[in-house]
Amino acid sequence: MIFLKENFERKWCVSHDYSRDYCWYDSDFQRSCKSDEMYIDECGDTSYQQEFELIEFGNREALIKVAEQDRCWTRRGEIVKLEPCDYTGRFDRQIFYAKNGDFNDNRFEISQPRNSDDCVTTHHHPKAREVVQMDSCGAARSHTSNYWRMDPTGWI
């Protein structure tokens, strides 16, 4: 068996409001996509929603909100779901942290909660339709799927 390592960065973006037949969970388990979950897809694919806004609280803390909607990223176990936003900042499942960088940096990790070793990532090497979830930052780093950045075409 031959394994090829890519020597370039793929541009994957977070997408939501899926209408696909299936999505990937834990890299190899397929099931129907859910409208309150988010998935990785190619950036700029106009058939999927890929725009988010930050509502920053300072100290590298922020709500991550769907653009022009009242739905925010919310940690529910290992999955990051979309739920109505709590703009007060008291609902700690919606407060995400820029780790090893800042939301305004070229790249950063997104963790939740603050001092956790859990990062927003995909389960493995990213692929289209893979669910966005919380996983060990160490595991994400070993698969180089730990860094995010803001981009005009979406979250990469």
Residue-wise pLDDT for 87-121, tens only, equals: 887 888 999 999 888 888 888 999 987 778 899 98
End-to-end CA gap in the chain: 30
139 burial via Cβ count (<10 Å: 0-12, 13-18, 19+): middle
**Residue 5 located in a structural domain:** no
CATH of the domain at 41: 2.80.10.50
- pTM for the model stands at 0.83
Beta carbons within 10 angstroms of residue 127's beta carbon = 15
**Residue 150 located in a structural domain:** yes
**Residue 140 located in a structural domain:** yes
Give me the domain span that covers residue 36. Answer: 12-155
Q: With a cut of 50, list the residues of the chain below it in pLDDT.
A: 1-5, 156
Q: How many domains does the chain have?
A: 1
In sequence order, which residues have a C-beta less than 8 Å from that of residue 77 and are 6 or more positions away? 134
**Residue 126 located in a structural domain:** yes
